[in-house]
């Protein structure tokens, strides 16, 4: 018999009604500080590596959270489905805090990397469990709005994060950045834990040690191998990248819902769509500052501002989606959003090929942000609507894992292209990203068979 809870009970009041306020505040706080750290580390990490005299560890320190985050996402979803969100939320939060604390106090780069690895596991667990908390505590009518709010929690740090981080590093110390995240995350976790402590578990079964967890570890190793491959000389660069890509795809086939790699209608296509969109957006953003500084001679402020402007587009997309009355998975909305995402790499192609000025790339990134701001709440709401209660955690986990694997694969491949042919590689890099974006648009346009549910 299905448990009757907050998620299917008629509810009076809005998102910030008294009964929802602690959960919403805790969710928003946790996501904000996780996001701030994500954007802050890009600015602070070069200083960290220099201060700890370990520049050669730079790429590993940066990629550590993505690598172990895959394991956390996989374990977190299944754990929450079996035991409810309370315990995994606490464990994931404490691991995240321990990792941040190690980073703040690290005497050398080895300890700093260990902190990043722990942070990735904990953040991966909580990034999935937060979806289950939403499903268990908020009525379905409020979920699109809270997902829009969580998108905004990423947007604010994307705009202010680099500036605040730069000021803290310059005026105080890079350790102050991690100390700020530690204090803010700890407070938000305490608020959220107090709000969910009475939630019952779905059942009393123990968390199994299954093959899925083993494949998550294998995928993390494959992702790490892809980052290592990007540092090699030809022909090893091409060989290692190809081998690592095959390993990531093999792991993805076992970590994601059956049919995801073929984008079959229903949950598999939603999961695939999220992976493609997230990969295109990340690949577009990370190479633009590099091109502006190394090829066009702009300073870090101009380069960072060019990407930050795109965050305003994401905020606009989230605002539009939060006020939309269209149902989750509305075909027209998803198609428009997918088309907007393609504008990001397309605008950058025009810039790096010399066909258009910087304004074209910035405008493309703004439009891409609008598309992402619409897509994320839509896909998150849709995956919960399509999933039985006992599978909400696992399928929410699949969204996160798909994006991480897709991003890792696309960034590794485009990084290999760039390493092999700088500066002529930039048009190829953005050409690949645009092609992947068009593949996402094709997913949105593809008709579903009669009776199937699909993003299109």
Residue ranges per domain, the chain? 14-208, 256-448+452-456
Decide if 288 contacts 306 (C-beta within 8 A).
Answer: yes
- Whether 148 shows a pLDDT value over 80: the answer reads no
Question: pLDDT band at residue 7, thresholds of 50, 70 and 90?
Answer: very low
Residue 361 CA to residue 343 CA, distance in Å, equals 9
Question: pLDDT band at residue 2, thresholds of 50, 70 and 90?
Answer: very low
Q: Report which DSSP code applies to 347.
A: H
Among 152-166, 177-191, 245-259, whose mean pLDDT is lowest?
Answer: 152-166
Q: Which pLDDT does position 57 carry in this prediction?
A: 65
Please tell me if the domain spanning 14-208 has the same topology as the one spanning 256-448+452-456.
yes
Task: Name the E strands within 204-333.
Answer: none
Residue from 156, 61, 133, 46 nearest 102 by CA: 61
In the chain, how many H helices and how many E strands?
14, 0
Give the residue-averaged pLDDT of 191-219: 69
Q: Which pLDDT does position 425 carry in this prediction?
A: 81
Give, in degrees to the nearest 5, the angle at Cα 120 between 117 and 122. Answer: 110
- Whether 8 shows a pLDDT value over 50: the answer reads no
Among 108-112, 125-129, 174-178, 336-340, whose mean pLDDT is lowest?
Answer: 125-129
> What residues have CB less than 8 Å from 6, skipping those under 6 apart?
136, 137, 138, 139
Among 13-17, 193-197, 206-210, 311-315, whose mean pLDDT is lowest?
Answer: 206-210
According to the per-residue pLDDT averaged within each range, which of 52-56, 169-173, 441-445 is highest? 441-445
Q: Which pLDDT does position 301 carry in this prediction?
A: 65
Question: pLDDT band at residue 10, thresholds of 50, 70 and 90?
Answer: very low
Q: Which pLDDT does position 345 carry in this prediction?
A: 95
Question: pLDDT band at residue 406, thresholds of 50, 70 and 90?
Answer: confident
The residue ranking higher by pLDDT, 136 or 203, is 136
pLDDT digits (tens, 9 = 90+) for 351-365: 999 889 999 999 999
Number of CB atoms found within 10 A of residue 339's CB: 17
Percentage of residues of the chain with pLDDT beyond 90: 17
- Whether 442 shows a pLDDT value over 70: the answer reads yes
Question: pLDDT band at residue 15, thresholds of 50, 70 and 90?
Answer: low
pLDDT digits (tens, 9 = 90+) for 258-290: 888 888 888 899 999 999 998 898 888 877 776
- Whether 4 shows a pLDDT value over 50: the answer reads no
Q: Which pLDDT does position 329 carry in this prediction?
A: 65
Residue from 405, 56, 387 nearest 216 by CA: 405
According to the per-residue pLDDT averaged within each range, which of 128-142, 149-163, 238-252, 331-345 is highest? 331-345
The percent helix, strand, coil of the chain (3-state, each to 5) is 80, 0, 20
Residue from 126, 118, 123, 120 nearest 85 by CA: 126
Give the residue-averaged pLDDT of 306-318: 79
CATH number (1.20.1250.20, 1.20.120.1200, 3.40.30.10, 3.40.190.10) of 14-208 reads 1.20.1250.20
What tokens were used for 453?
A: 């549910």
Mean pLDDT over all residues of the chain?
Answer: 79
Alpha-carbon Rg for the chain, nearest whole angstrom, is 21
pLDDT digits (tens, 9 = 90+) for 291-305: 776 678 776 666 667
Residue 345 CA to residue 23 CA, distance in Å, equals 37
Q: Which pLDDT does position 236 carry in this prediction?
A: 78
Topology (CATH) of 256-448+452-456: Growth Hormone; Chain: A; (1.20.1250)
Q: Which pLDDT does position 55 carry in this prediction?
A: 57
Residue 3: exposure state from Cβ atoms within 10 A (0-12, 13-18, ≥19): exposed
Give the residue-averaged pLDDT of 413-423: 72
Question: pLDDT band at residue 230, thresholds of 50, 70 and 90?
Answer: low
> What residues have CB less than 8 Å from 37, skipping those under 6 apart?
100, 119, 177, 178, 181
DSSP 300-328: HHHHHHHHHHHHHHHHHHHHHHHT--SPT
Residue 345 CA to residue 431 CA, distance in Å, equals 7
- Whether 440 shows a pLDDT value over 90: the answer reads no
> What residues have CB less than 8 Å from 266, skipping those under 6 apart?
259, 386, 448, 452, 453, 454
Flag whether the pTM goes above 0.75.
Answer: no
The residue ranking higher by pLDDT, 200 or 236, is 236
The residue ranking higher by pLDDT, 361 or 416, is 361
> What residues have CB less than 8 Å from 203, skipping those under 6 apart?
82, 83
- Whether 200 shows a pLDDT value over 80: the answer reads no
Give the residue-averaged pLDDT of 335-360: 92
């Amino acid at each position: 018999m299905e448990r009757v809870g907050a998620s299917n009970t008629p509810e009076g009041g809005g998102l910030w009604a008294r009964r929802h306020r602690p959960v919403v505040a805790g969710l928003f706080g946790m996501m904000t500080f996780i996001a701030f750290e994500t954007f802050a580390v890009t600015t602070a990490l070069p200083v960290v590596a220099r201060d700890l005299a370990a520049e050669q560890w730079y790429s590993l320190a940066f990629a550590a959270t993505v690598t172990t985050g895959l394991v956390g996402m996989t374990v977190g979803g299944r754990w929450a489905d079996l035991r409810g969100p309370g315990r995994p939320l606490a464990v994931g939060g404490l691991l995240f805090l321990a990792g941040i604390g190690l980073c703040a106090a690290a005497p050398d780069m080895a300890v700093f990397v260990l902190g990043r690895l722990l942070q990735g596991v904990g953040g991966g667990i909580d990034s999935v469990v937060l979806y289950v908390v939403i499903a268990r505590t908020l009525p379905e009518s409020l979920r699109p709005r809270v997902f829009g709010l969580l998108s905004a929690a990423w947007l604010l740090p994307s705009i202010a994060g680099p500036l605040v981080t730069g000021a803290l590093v310059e005026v105080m110390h890079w350790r102050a950045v991690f100390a700020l995240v530690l204090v803010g995350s700890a407070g938000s976790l305490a608020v959220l834990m107090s709000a969910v402590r009475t939630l019952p578990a779905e059942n009393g079964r123990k968390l199994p040690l299954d093959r899925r967890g083993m494949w998550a570890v294998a995928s993390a190793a494959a992702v790490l191998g892809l980052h290592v491959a990007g540092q090699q000389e030809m022909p090893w660069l091409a060989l290692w990248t190809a081998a690592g890509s095959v390993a990531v795809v093999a792991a993805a086939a076992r970590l994601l819902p059956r049919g995801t790699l073929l984008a079959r209608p229903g949950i598999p296509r939603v999961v695939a769509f999220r992976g493609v969109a997230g990969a295109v957006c990340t690949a577009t953003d990370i190479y633009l500052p590099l091109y502006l500084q190394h090829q066009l001679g702009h300073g870090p402020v101009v380069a960072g501002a060019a990407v930050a402007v795109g965050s305003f587009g994401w905020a606009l997309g989230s605002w539009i989606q939060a006020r939309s009355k269209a149902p989750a998975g509305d075909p027209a909305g998803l198609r428009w959003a997918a088309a907007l995402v393609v504008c990001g790499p397309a605008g950058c192609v025009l810039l790096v090929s010399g066909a258009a000025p910087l304004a074209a790339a910035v405008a493309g990134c703004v439009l891409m942000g609008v598309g992402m701001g619409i897509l994320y709440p839509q896909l998150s709401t849709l995956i919960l609507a399509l999933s039985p209660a006992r599978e909400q955690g696992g399928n929410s986990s699949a969204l996160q894992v798909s994006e991480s694997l897709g991003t890792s694969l696309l960034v590794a491949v485009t990084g290999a292209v760039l390493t092999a042919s700088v500066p002529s590689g930039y048009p190829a890099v953005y050409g690949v990203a645009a092609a992947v974006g068009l593949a996402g648009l094709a997913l949105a346009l593809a008709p579903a068979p009669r009776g199937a549910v699909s993003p299109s």
